[in-house]
Every structure is written in structure tokens, then in C-alpha cells.
């Protein structure tokens, strides 16, 4: 019997149909029952005898692959594969897959939620009201603002469609711009410099790569409008947190909303926590029942495809 390791927590709870699908096709599912992402040592112990892995945020490097001589496929439960050593996997003939586009609705909703919460200070007002402080706050509306999207993949496109309901002007930069889709949505593709210079709100949607490390940095922030709002639901390494700290301190940034961090998980002494106009969530933008159900089936089918001898892409081979 082939064995699959589900590395993400709560697989049975949120991916029951995917688990049943694997089992119905003769696959034994080994689950992460720790309630948290697996450490390297935990992963090394659990992966010794498995043929495939459904990967959460745990790292699959040469050391892990050495511990898994039977491993044939790693299917990322999501989009980003910055936790995979893809070159090492290619050398060993391990097929890697991911699920582009599936989580776009959940992450886009989360992106717009962070924008609204920054502009209207909902978390702060909620807490203050519960404490008996009746603060009548004047806010800035999202309606009519110019929003710049750095990256124009599936999440950014879905975000743009949602923002159209707020009558926003949408600008976007992408290294490989899709002008046709931009026109269909009503998005203006521009240079990075122009997007940054013109936007009232900037939202980061680039993948995590060597070339996008600290993509948003001190120099980029300096060229923004004073009081610009920054949103990051991509990867923590895409934003230089020290530059953000300085910009919040000086008032250059009107606020920062983030679902991701350079180092996760963060501790209570995380420097940005001192700012009232910083709103964060613990990397949960893609955590929706709908996304888990669909991504669960997509990863299960990709794994079964490879274990049955398939080599051509069933979803996306990276």
C-alpha cells in the first residue's frame, strides 16, 4: 500500500473528502496530529517510509529528501513553493506540484479586509468600545482610492475585481504583464515606479524569490505618497520590516496590514506591535473551509496521478 504524509495540521477535519478519496484508491494517509506545522526533526521521522507528501509550510530540502528514499511527489497545499528545494527535487526525480489560483478568493477577501480595517480602525474601535471608551472616529473611505497591485497573478486579479465594487482606480505592475486580462478587469498596467508613485494603497502580490527579497524596501517607500497604506498577503520576505518600522515611526506610512512575517511564528516582542496603525493576522489569509476542501482534492488528485505513473502535469508542475 502506498503511503501519503499530510504535513499540514487538521487534515482530517478540513479535508475529509480528499482523505477519503485517497483511501478509496488504496492510499494510506499518515497525518500530522501535532496541531502545528511539523519541525524538521518531526518531518524527518514521519517521512521515512512515504511515497508522497502533501506539504504545508514545512521545508523540503536535501536533508528531508535524504530521509525519504521512496518519495516520488510533493504536492504543495497552496501556491508558494519557496519551502521546496526544487533543484534538489529535480535531481532526484521527485515531482513537485502546487495549486495556483484556488486560494485566490480567500486571500483576496483577506486583502480587502485588511485595507478596510486599516482605513476604518475596526480592530482598535472594537477593543476600545468593549473597554468603555466611546471614541467617535473620523475615517478615510476606500471608495475612490487609487490602489496599486505589485504583481498581477490570480490573487491580485481577484482583489482588483473586488475593489471595483468600491469604485477604486486600480493600477498594477507585473514583470510579465497580461494586458488583455488587465483591460477586461479595468486595471491600468504601469511601470513599478508609476504604480508606487500614484497609489494611495499598495498591496503586495509577488512570489517569494531571490529577486523579490525585500521587494518593498526603504527606497520604494521613500518614493510613495506620504501617508500611503501598505498591505502584504504574499510572503513576509517580500517586505523589509525594518524599512516599514522606520516608515511607520516617521509617519511616511499611514498604516501597514500584513498576514505574513519574515520569520514565523512571531513572538509578543515583535517590533511592529508597538504601532496602533499596524494590523496583522497569523498567516491565515488562505484558511477558509472552501479553499481547504478544493485544495485538498486538487492535491490528492495530483498525488494519485503521479503515483499511478503520470508524468505530465495534472495541475501545475513546478
The residue to which cell 496590514 is assigned: 257
Residue 287 contacts residue 7 (beta carbons within 8 Å): no
Residue 70 contacts residue 48 (beta carbons within 8 Å): no
Helix (H) or strand (E) holding 53: strand 52-55
What value does the CA radius of gyration of the chain take, rounded to a whole number of Å? 21
How far is the CA of 27 from the CAs of 44, 131, 213, 214, 304, in angstroms?
A: 20, 53, 39, 41, 9
Exactly one of 76, 283, 298, 305 is catalytic; name it: 283
Helix (H, G, I), strand (E, B) or coil at 70: coil
What CA–CA distance (Å, rounded) separates 202 from 143? 15
Handedness of CA 143, 144, 150, 156 (dihedral sign): positive
235 is catalytic: yes
Query: What angle, 0 to 180 degrees and rounded to 10, lies between the N-to-C axes of helices 104-120 and 122-130?
Result: 60
169 is catalytic: no
Report the candidate in 167, 224, 159 with the shortest Cα–Cα distance to residue 196.
224
What CA–CA distance (Å, rounded) separates 201 from 224? 10
Q: Could you list the active site residues?
A: 235, 264, 283
Amino acid at each position: 500500500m502506498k503511503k501519503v504524509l499530510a504535513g499540514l495540521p487538521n487534515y482530517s477535519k478540513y479535508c475529509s473528502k480528499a482523505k477519503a478519496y485517497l483511501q478509496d484508491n488504496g492510499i494510506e494517509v499518515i497525518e500530522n496530529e501535532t496541531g502545528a506545522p511539523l519541525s524538521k526533526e518531526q518531518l524527518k521521522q514521519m517521512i521515512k517510509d512515504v511515497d508522497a507528501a502533501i506539504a504545508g509550510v514545512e521545508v523540503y530540502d536535501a536533508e528531508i529528501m535524504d530521509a525519504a528514499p521512496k518519495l516520488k511527489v510533493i504536492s504543495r497545499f497552496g501556491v508558494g513553493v519557496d519551502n521546496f528545494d526544487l533543484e534538489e527535487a529535480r535531481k532526484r526525480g521527485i515531482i513537485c506540484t502546487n495549486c495556483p489560483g484556488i486560494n485566490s478568493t480567500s486571500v483576496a477577501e483577506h486583502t480587502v479586509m485588511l485595507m478596510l480595517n486599516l482605513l476604518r480602525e475596526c480592530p482598535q474601535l472594537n477593543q476600545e468600545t468593549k473597554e468603555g471608551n466611546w471614541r467617535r472616529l473620523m475615517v478615510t473611505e476606500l471608495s475612490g482610492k487609487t490602489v496599486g497591485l505589485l504583481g498581477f497573478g490570480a490573487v491580485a486579479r481577484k482583489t482588483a475585481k473586488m475593489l471595483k465594487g468600491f469604485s477604486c482606480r486600480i493600477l498594477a505592475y507585473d514583470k510579465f504583464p497580461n494586458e488583455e486580462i488587465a483591460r477586461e478587469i479595468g486595471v491600468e498596467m504601469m511601470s513599478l515606479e508609476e504604480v508606487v508613485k500614484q497609489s494611495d494603497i499598495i498591496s503586495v502580490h509577488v512570489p517569494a524569490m531571490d529577486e523579490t527579497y525585500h521587494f518593498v524596501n526603504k527606497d520604494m517607500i521613500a518614493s510613495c505618497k506620504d501617508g500611503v497604506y501598505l498591505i502584504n498577503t504574499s510572503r513576509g520576505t517580500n517586505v523589509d520590516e525594518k524599512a516599514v518600522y522606520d516608515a511607520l515611526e516617521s509617519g511616511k506610512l499611514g498604516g501597514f496590514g500584513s498576514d505574513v512575517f519574515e520569520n514565523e511564528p512571531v513572538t509578543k516582542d515583535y517590533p511592529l506591535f508597538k504601532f496602533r496603525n499596524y494590523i496583522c493576522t497569523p498567516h491565515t489569509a488562505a484558511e477558509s473551509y472552501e479553499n481547504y476542501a478544493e485544495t485538498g482534492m486538487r492535491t490528492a488528485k495530483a498525488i494519485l496521478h503521479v503515483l499511478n505513473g503520470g508524468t505530465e502535469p495534472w495541475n501545475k508542475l513546478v
